[in-house]
A and B are shown apart, each in its own frame.
Chain A
Amino acid sequence: MKDSAAVDQSNSSRRAAGVVFGLLLPILIVNIIAFVVPVLNLAAMSFRSATAIGSLDEALTLSTWQSLLGDTFYWSILWRTVWMGALITAVTLLLSYPLALFVSRRSGWVKTVLVVACISPLLISAVVRTYGWMVILGNQGFLPALIRASGFTPPRLINNEFGVLVGMTEILMPYMILSLLSGFGRLDPILDQAAETLGARPLTVLRRIVLPLSLPGILLGCLLCFVLAVSSFITPKMLAGGRVSLLATEIYDQAIVTLNWPLAACLSVFILFVFGAALLAYGQLSKIVD
């Protein structure tokens, strides 16, 4: 009796595992075709070299990697990319957090309207939004004109890191707000009230209760925004005016303008390491938070 029950159980658990595998199979196939193979292809390409007319040389070589790793220019791009990514993420977080907190404390249709308002910018293409920023921040744009009208000389607001920062922050805020909202699950307003009855002032409540409990959402939002900031190239390309080189824009230039595909592939693999590092950091930090 006991044995047959055990056999039944192992049979049914095997069947359950089969069902799980069957359900995962479609996404597995899509992922292999659309992600794993291209990435491997890219990695393989990075060991080739380009001829003068842009075609690939058949011979395998380490020369592209050597020139990449030995060139301080690329290291400085890497550094600037990580620094800009971190800065954009931090500013996005600072601007999104109060908004997300406010929205999460509403209820009913007010909350629905606010959530939709927060994510509605996603309905407009990033390219269009970036053009909007060019109109606002450009030398003959709205903001400089305003500054001039009030009797000051406007600083350069575009074609530099500041322009990239402003544009990217606005573009990433919906993602950050969504992540924060999803991470606010443990934040029950009754906990704030309990802290208040114990003598905590509003700022102390924020520091001791609200912030620690929303860390999972903060981490998730930061990971998402950092990765998106590092990998985006349209907005930096348009707002930097070629004066701020980042890894993503450099890859675009090498692949489309210079037609040096091996170098572009090298940089792409390079950027994957940055993402890997970010994921690792996220994993470690979320373990600490839990």
Chain B
Amino acid sequence: MYLKVESLEKRYGHLVPVSGLSFSLGQGELLGLLGPSGCGKTTTLRMISGLIHATSGKIIVGGHDVTHLPTYRRNMGVMFQSYALFPHMTIAENVAFGLEMRKLSKADIAQRVSSALSMVRLPALGNRKPLQLSGGQQQRVALARALVIEPDILLLDEPLSNLDAKLRDEMRNEIREIQQRLRMTTVFVTHDQTEAMAICDRIVVMNRGKLEQIGTPHEIYERPSTPMVADFVGRINRIRCRWRDDGAIAFGHTAIGAVSTGPAGSEVLVMVRPHRIELRSAGAKAGRAEGENTIPGTVRQVTYIGDSLQYAVESEGEKIMVEQATTSAGDTYKPGDAVTLNWRARDTLTFAAEADV
């Protein structure tokens, strides 16, 4: 493992923005730190870069303990949310700054600066000042400035949050492409789960300063280990029920099947993603597949949002959201329609009720 974070903790008096945080990543891996604002992800990034001192715990890079090294000796490329370009220097001077600190020769610096600017597709703008550039261009300069020093680790602090939606997708893919080409070990902080899913090899989900789950985007989405993770990485229905003694979950007059089981009578939190539920007309004789849940319900509300239809369905006194991709056929249900909700048992996520927060 190239970067190792061991039981990292930060305290400010009674405030504990980060505690007991451990994770590691291999050379060339892109790890996302994902969580709601205030979850400690930026504090963690700043501790890795040395801009904040850890109260306790260890940060190990390539086998060396850097926990107590000052920032300027850590050799980490940081890209800040606000880009933090030096306004009094030209673009080329901004990119050259880190190389000057490393006392490279003038010719060497010029050559590396120009290749770094070409890499981020801004070869002709070296003489401009940062404020003469658009947000996307400033961002590329910040990336070039962070990468040109050939850092041991690249740290990205919400790099895309100041861009408009379209540019954001483009930059996201560009960052991923460059990161893979350079095999750059990277930590990427974001509060946007789509962003994290799209480009990260693995994701650390944080909440209230603690690690909730670490895993690949697929693991995080399909097998969230806590209700918080399930909730944070995508829309989801949550229903409180009780286990029956036959291993199913009691839901009013019917039952919900899940892959796991729990002790009979104990409370359980059931979570199902809206787009994993299929709606069928109540009378339809579709063959019920093995391991499939079929729950009767009544459509209460329909919302059309272009690429999908959102139904609010009432079933056994609970409101369940269902999402279906729209088709040109326009065969939709109307409020009042009697329907059945169908989903696979393996799409039923179950959590002990006390894990719910």
Show the binding face of A for B, using Cβ within 8 Å: 186, 188, 190-191, 193-201, 204, 208-209, 212-213
Can you list 20 A-B pairs, Cβ within 8 angstroms, ordered by A?
A190-B80, A193-B71, A193-B84, A194-B80, A194-B85, A195-B86, A195-B97, A196-B50, A197-B49, A197-B77, A198-B72, A198-B149, A199-B73, A199-B75, A199-B98, A199-B149, A200-B72, A200-B97, A204-B101, A213-B87
Top 10 A-B residue pairs of the complex, sorted by shortest distance between their CB atoms: A199-B101, A198-B98, A194-B84, A197-B78, A196-B71, A190-B84, A212-B88, A199-B72, A196-B72, A193-B51
CA distance A198 to B51 in the complex (A): 12
Q: Which residues of B contact A190 (CB under 8 A)?
A: 80, 82, 84
Q: How far is the CB of B357 from chain A (nearest CB, A)?
A: 31
Cross-chain contact A200 with B84 (CB below 8 angstroms) = no
In the complex, how many residues of chain B place their beta carbon closer than 8 angstroms to a beta carbon of chain A?
A: 26
Is A198 a contact of B145 with CB atoms below 8 Å?
A: yes
Q: Give CA–CA (A125, B73) in the complex, Å.
A: 50
Cα distance A204–B80 in the bound complex, in angstroms:
20
State which residues 232-281 of B face A: CB under 8 Å: none
Residues in B whose Cβ lies below 8 Å from that of A193: 51, 71, 78, 80, 84
CA distance A190 to B79 in the complex (A): 11
Provide the residues of chain B in CB contact with A204, threshold 8 Å. Answer: 101
Query: Which residues of B lie under 8 Å from residue A196 when comparing CB positions?
Result: 50-51, 70-72
Closest Cβ–Cβ distance, residue B188 to chain A (whole Å): 16
Residue of A nearest to B96 (CB): A198
* Distance of A194 Cα from B78 Cα, bound (Å): 7
- Is B102's beta carbon under 8 Å from chain A? yes
Residues of A within 8 A of B98 (CB): 198-199
CB distance from A220 to the nearest CB of B (A): 17
* A201 touching B88, Cβ below 8 Å: no
The smallest C-beta distance from A138 to any residue of chain B, in angstroms, reads 47
Chain B residues near A191: list those with CB within 8 A: 84, 86-87
A188 with B84: CB separation less than 8 A: yes
For A196, give the chain B residue with the smallest CB separation.
B71
Q: Which residues in B have their C-beta under 8 angstroms from that of A186?
A: 87-88
Distance to closest chain A CB from B82 (angstroms):
6
A interface footprint on B64-107 (CB within 8 Å = 1, 0 otherwise):
00000011111111101010111110000000011001100000
Cβ–Cβ < 8 Å partners of B71 in chain A: 193, 196-197
**Known interface pairs A193-B71, A200-B72. Does A209 touch B86 (Cβ–Cβ under 8 Å)?**
yes
Interface residues of B in 137-190 (CB under 8 A from A): 145-146, 149
Q: Which residue of A lies closest to B82 (CB)?
A: A190
Residues of A within 8 A of B82 (CB): 188, 190
> In the complex, what's the smallest C-beta–C-beta distance from A35 to chain B, in angstroms?
36
Q: Which of A196, A204, A213 has the most CB of B within 10 A?
A: A196
- Residue among B51, B71, B85 with the highest chain A CB neighbour number at 10 A: B71
Q: How far is the CB of A197 from chain B (nearest CB, A)?
A: 4
Q: Which residue of A lies closest to B103 (CB)?
A: A199
CB distance from A203 to the nearest CB of B (A): 11
Contacts of B84 in A (CB 8 A): 188, 190-191, 193-194
A206 to B80, CA, bound (A): 20
Q: Nearest CB to that of B71 among chain A residues? A: A196
Give the distance to chain B from A201, nearest Cβ to Cβ, in Å.
5
Given the interface contacts A190-B82, A191-B86, A193-B84, does A199 sit within 8 Å of B51 by beta carbon? no
A213 to B82, CA, bound (A): 17
- Residues of chain A within 8 A (CB-CB) of B74 are 197
Roughly how many angstroms separate A190 CA and B102 CA in the complex, as a whole number?
21
Q: A208-B97, A209-B86, A212-B88 given. 20 additional CB < 8 A pairs?
A: A186-B87, A188-B82, A188-B84, A190-B80, A191-B84, A193-B71, A193-B80, A194-B86, A196-B50, A196-B51, A197-B51, A197-B72, A198-B101, A198-B145, A198-B149, A199-B73, A199-B75, A199-B98, A199-B101, A199-B102
> B49: shortest Cβ distance to chain A, in Å?
6
Which of chain A's residues has its CB closest to B142's CB? A194
Q: Distance in Å from the Cβ of A146 to the closest Cβ of chain B? A: 40
